[in-house]
Structure 1
Amino acid sequence: MDLYRAFLAIVLSFLILIGYQYFFVKPVPPQPQAPGQATQAASSANQQTAGGAPAAATGIAATPSTVAVDPLAHDVTVDTPLYTAVINEQGGGVKGFVLKSYRSTNAEDAGPMQLIIGKGPADAPVLFSLDNGAGTVLPTYTADKNAVTLTNQGDTGTLTMTAALADGIAIVRTLTFRGDSYLINVEYKVSNTTDRPVQVSPALTMVNEPFAHASETSKYLFAGPAAYVNEKLVETKAKKLTEAPVVLQGKVSWTGYVDNYFMTTVAPAVGNGRTITLQGSEQQVRTVLSEGIQTIGPHEGKSFAYTLYFGPKKLQVLQTAGSDLAKAVDFGWFDVLAKPMLWLLNFFHQFSHNYGVAIILLTILIKLIFWPITQKGMKSMKNMQKLQPKIAKLRERFKDDPAKMNQEMMTLYKTYKVNPVGGCLPMLIQIPFFFALYRVLMAAIELRHAPFMLWINDLSAPDRLWIGFDIPYLHGIPILTLLMGASMYLQQKMTPTTADPTQARIMQFLPIVFTFMFINFASGLVLYWFVNNLLSILQQYLINRQNKA
């Protein structure tokens, strides 16, 4: 009885973990396509007098404003082996950003992944201002070239943009691109050419919307504004911003917008003493990274440097990028176990060149590591099953004396050297490792659009076998998921049980429950569970054969 109560507690914990995400976590809303909505994220420094006070550090406009488009402003195209970016001279924001190595969907005719799509000047990310992002007028820069093209991964290129603002303030913006990196270095040199000091509030503004690549599995994971502040990852649900702005202060390593596969972030050169203000909704998030009020003396200048990262949320890439960007890859409570498993997954992929095979190899490795303790647990359950007739007699004999019954049962266990929880302890040890691998297979970008074999062409999506016509809700037959459920049922039939008839009947429904819950899970996770079940069946078969011998 105690053994099965413990087992049921483990199963219920698992159901709560994945069931909550399945039933209660709301999907990411579709990306809005309403043009003309501009955000106050630009500089109005050319509207200030030289001695005029800028907006206060937290005085960011709450509503977007319409900014007239400058017809003389040109687009500058930046093309590298990894991405193509479009930067507009009005405001200097990133009008478009396309990743060449990733597709928007897994369809054969799908185009490359677009992190930023056709934004207007005031809607574009990476807008620098001198009034803490509260302005309504965008300065128009003059670029030193119409395009930057990097052909090889070892190439570097720069783009210099200059703007002369009102009352003698000038900005020189220099962007540095590398052919082998998603990092973009941006430096702003602000000069005061007048004979009197000027107060400014420099800030960099990012405007983001949900990335257009939602899938059945990714929509259950976090997507929204995130920052690494004071050595802590802060993920803010975009829905919370509709109630009130969120302000973060302290040592800022980076801030931006992330989901489980991609991220667009900005990192200040020096992270101390910054303020992050988040505003918006689930459809659009506005992030302002403020430098605070500063004074520029006559004929003096100040520089403000940042590093942009617009690219995949891939651990290996982010670790190389620095600026604590790798902290964006967070697997929750089991992060310390999940990241080594992700490393092993990539290690096996180096040899197999197939992430499905890598998952199978990783599953076998984990099973081999836990084989001895699992073997011991299965044997303990087998021995417990043999004692059931004796335990039943004790319960009947001492049904009116629970204390005496427990005493006699403990004596029985000692006599036959059986641990009543021996079959449960191995499972308890393995649960953290399973949850860690569960998070990896649900969130790792390595599995996005990664094919396995036959009909499974995307390990990050549910498995579906198309049969020539649409099936409501399923849209195909989940073959792998059904095989997983069948293997779980077979494993259950082979596993010794000490449960009473009522408990046994309840346990018979678990394969059905798991099959239903796994229908919309990533096929990579289902593959792991299926292979693990097959290995458990093999192990139980060997134990049963040994006991018969």
Structure 2
Amino acid sequence: MDTQRMFLAIFLSLAILLGYQYFFVPTPPPATESIVASSPENGKTEGKSVASAPAPVAAASLLATAPAGASVRQGREIPVTTSLYSAVVTESGGMLKSFQLKNYREDLAKDSGEKELLRPKNGDNLPLNFSWGVEPGTIPPVVYVAAPIKEEDGGKVLTMRGKLPSGLEIVRTMRFGDQQYLLDLTIEVINTTATPLQGAPYLTLDNRPFAKESSMVFVGPALIKDGVLEEIKATDLKKGSRSFTGKISWAAYEDNYFLCGIVPQTGDQHTAHFSVQDEDRVTTVLAGASDVIQPGQSQQYSYSVYCGPKTMAALKSAGHELERSINFGWFDVMAKPTLYLLKFLHGYVGNYGVAIILVTVFIKLLFWPISQKGMKSMKTMQKLQPKMAKLREKFKDDKQLQQQEMIKLYQTYKVNPVGGCLPMVIQIPVFFALYKVLLQTIELRHAPFFLWITDLSAPDRLAIGFDLPFVGGIPVLTLLMGATMFLQQKMTPATGDPTQQKVMMFMPLIFTFMFLNFASGLVLYWFVNNLLSIGQQYLVNRQETA
């Protein structure tokens, strides 16, 4: 009997102890390692803690998931339409699934549909996935509940609220302006638990190329860090991911004509990490500094997001130095004035092909005096060829004396032996500047000229009912350009030795092959420039023979 009473007493004591622990003592958080963002300033972990506050709970506790067997609600897809674009936002992750530009088509065909900037494949992550305290992709995306879209200040506001199983609550607010491609994203992280939480914010972009065809200029991520523009080709990322820490003005994915980018609005220092996930999907992760959120408190993070065309007007209107994504490199000083002139003339003539012709005439007039002097110098050099041949023969065994006599001959007739080449050398930077403009200016995308030239940003091809090997249609404008270059060469006085002259005869053929796949706008410039040069050479030849 005493033994039974002893076991009963032990049983009741355990029941009372376990019951008290269960009903009256709060469960302590699991002791796991904290995952915090590296400090952008020194590369070490850093948190904004309060001196009298208890130690923050490790952010790894946010990895808690819903109980096994619990049903996960499928998020809806919410369409948002403005005057410039149509977007689709998913409740699953609050991410962008589609972003179509109303003023741009997929390709030249009128029925090709609006330009889609997002081309995710099955299983891809979507842009604007936000996570706090844990690396992106560590936990499944939050399934938000979206409130009805509100109209505010001429735009639309979408608010979404979601909660993690750990007790962390996230409120996303997206503001879509009606007359701009820049949208605002505000994310509020609320700590609904009884303990402090420590973590860093991560906002992610996932992009595939905006177009099926490859770009001739640049495709890949870019950013401005500490005032310096950095561009990383997507092909280079396959060799290894890249990270940049500092004052990040924006981080984006871009090509010739379009850009999707994030502009951080809160925090002075960020880390932008770029990587390639598979064949051509580029992931951009923008991470901020670590914060500590006290129980019942919240932390707010603000971003701007640009998804749209790389037009100077739209990018400057968006601000944040986004216009620097239009990068002409070394030729920026000459290229941007040329771009402004091209757009100015288009405002009057309404055709970019005609505007290119007018720009070519303007540049030719600008260099007319230099070209005129160079052509006259070459004409004089042609007349001196017999005298120069005699000097070469006379002093063939003494090269130094031969050079001295040549210099005396030049001085006597007041001619510069390189005077004929100087105009071409001076115009080369102008050519490359215009080349950059015509290749990167979105205004020329799908811009028609006349007849078969329906896209000045694409090679010219005249369809003949069947495809020719390697070229498809007939490159009429390119062949005309080669013909005018040959005619110009025949009219230009020959000044070199016979071997050099024979080599130069191949230049029109070489240039014709080079220009076969160039933008027809650039070929048009070179063709018109050749015609003007032929006219100028004709005048010089006529003056010399008069």
What corresponds to 1:522 in structure 2? 519
CA offset digits 1:431-474 (Å, max 9, x no partner)? 11111111111111111000000000000111011111222221
How do 1:441-460 residues align onto structure 2 when only pairs under 5 Å count?
441-460=438-457
- Residue 198 of structure 1 deviates from its aligned partner by 0.6
Quote the offset at 1:402 in angstroms.
Answer: 1.4
Give yes or no for contact 2:96–2:126 (8 Å, CA) kept in 1.
Answer: yes
The answer to whether the 8 Å contact 2:89/2:97 transfers is yes
Tell me the TM-score normalised to structure 1 length: 0.85
Could you tell me which residue of structure 2 aligns to residue 259 of structure 1? Answer: 255
Partner of residue 20, structure 2: none
Instruction: Please name the residue that 2:202 is paired with.
Output: 203
Q: Distance in 1 between matches of 2:137 and 2:319?
A: 31
Q: Which residue among 203, 223, 236 is the counterpart of 1:227?
A: 223
Between the aligned partners of 1:507 and 1:541, the Cα distance in structure 2 is 20
Q: Which moved more, 1:162-171 or 1:412-421?
A: 162-171
- Alpha-carbon offset, residue 282 of structure 1: 4.4
**Which residue of structure 2 aligns with residue 63 of structure 1?**
none
Q: Is the 8 A contact 1:99 1:311 kept in 2?
A: yes
Preserved CA contact (<8 Å) 1:229 1:251: yes
Aligned partner of 1:74 in structure 2 is 76
Q: What aligned pairs does 1:332-371 form with structure 2 within 5 A after superposition?
A: 332-371=329-368
Q: How does 1:77-226 map to 2 (within 5 A)?
A: 77-117=79-119, 123-130=125-132, 131-145=134-148, 155-214=154-213, 219-226=215-222
Q: Distance in 1 between matches of 2:212 and 2:531?
A: 34
Structure 1 stretch displaced more, 436-445 or 158-167: 158-167
Amino acid at match of 1:93: M
Deviations 1:283-305 (A, max 9, x none): 11111100132211222211110
Letter in 2 for 1:177: F
Shift of 1:136: 2.5
Aligned to 1:25: none
Q: Which residue of 2 is the match for residue 397 of structure 1? A: 394
Q: Does 1:419 pair with 2:416? A: yes
Query: 1:287 — aligned with what?
Result: 284
d(CA) in 2 for partners of 1:142, 1:502: 78
CA distance in 2, matches of 1:197, 1:120: 38
Distance across 2 between alignment mates of 1:115 and 1:148 = 25
Aligned length: 488
Q: Are 2:334 and 1:331 equivalent residues in the alignment?
A: no
Give the C-alpha shift of residue 426 in structure 1.
2.0
Which residue, out of 281, 304, 307, partners 1:307?
304
Q: Following superposition of structure 1 onto structure 2, how do residues 4-83 of structure 1 map, counting pairs within 5 Å?
A: 55-57=35-37, 71-83=73-85
Match of residue 23 from structure 1: none
Task: Tell me how far apart the structure 1 counterparts of residues 211 and 463 of structure 2 sit (CA, whole Å).
Answer: 24
Q: Deviation at 1:212?
A: 2.6
Match of 2:506 among 501, 504, 509: 509
Q: 1:374–1:426: 8 Å Cα contact kept in structure 2?
A: yes
Give the Cα separation in 1 of the matches to 2:367 and 2:336: 19
Q: 2:241 and 2:458 mapped to 1: Cα distance?
A: 35
Between 348-357 and 71-80, the greater mean CA deviation after superposition: 71-80
Matching residue of 1:538: 535
- In structure 2, what is the Cα distance between the partners aligned to 1:399 and 1:119? 72
Where does the alignment leave 5 or more consecutive residues of structure 2 unmatched? 1-27, 39-44, 46-65
Q: Is the 8 A contact 1:69 1:121 kept in 2?
A: no
Mapping for residues 241-252 of structure 1, pairs under 5 Å: 241-252=237-248
Partner of 1:179, secondary structure, is: coil
Question: Alpha-carbon deviation of 1:342?
Answer: 0.7
Q: Which amino acid aligns with 1:364?
A: V
Q: Which residue of 1 aligns with 2:264?
A: 268
1:122-142 Cα deviation digits (max 9, x unpaired):
611001101131422111111
> CA distance change for structure 1 residues 334 and 51 in 2, over 3 Å: closer, same or farther?
farther
Does structure 1 conserve the Cα–Cα contact (< 8 Å) formed by 2:151 and 2:157?
A: no
Q: How many Å separate the matches in 2 of 1:437 and 1:449? A: 18
Contact (CA 8 Å) 2:215, 2:255: kept in 1 or not?
no
Q: Which AA in structure 1 matches 2:37?
A: A
Q: Point out the more displaced range, 423-432 or 305-314.
A: 423-432
Shift of 1:317: 1.4
Deviations 1:482-518 (A, max 9, x none): 0000000000001112111111111011100110111
Deviation of 1:149 after TM superposition, in Å, equals 8.0
Structure 2 distance, partners of 1:128, 1:96, is 17
Shift of 1:226: 1.3
1:206 maps to a residue whose letter is L
Cα contact 2:119–2:207 (8 A) shared by 1: no
Q: What amino acid is the match of 1:274?
A: H
Q: Which residue in 1 is equivalent to 2:51?
A: none
Partner Cα distance (1:81, 1:361) in 2: 33
Establish whether residue 471 from structure 1 lines up as the match of residue 468 from structure 2.
yes
SS of the equivalent of 2:169 reads strand
Q: Deviations over 1:38-96 (max 9, x none)?
A: xxxxxxxxxx969865534379xxxxxxx999553111110011100000001001011
Counterpart contact for 1:53–1:200, Cα < 8 Å = no
> Per-residue displacement from partner, 1:357-389 (whole Å, max 9, x unpaired)?
010010000000000111111111111111111
Gaps of 5+ in 1: 1-47, 60-66
Higher-RCO chain (CA-CA 8 Å, sequence separation at least 6): 1
Work out the CA distance in 1 between the residues paired with 2:394 and 2:410: 17
8 Å Cα contact 2:36/2:198 also seen in 1: no
Matched AA of 1:123: N
Moved more, 467-476 or 302-311: 467-476
SS in 2 for 1:249: strand
The one-letter code sitting in structure 1 at the alignment partner of 2:94 is G
Larger radius of gyration: 2
CA drift at 1:243: 3.0
Are the structure 2 counterparts of residues 394 and 96 from structure 1 closer, same or farther at C-alpha, using a change threshold of 3 Å?
same
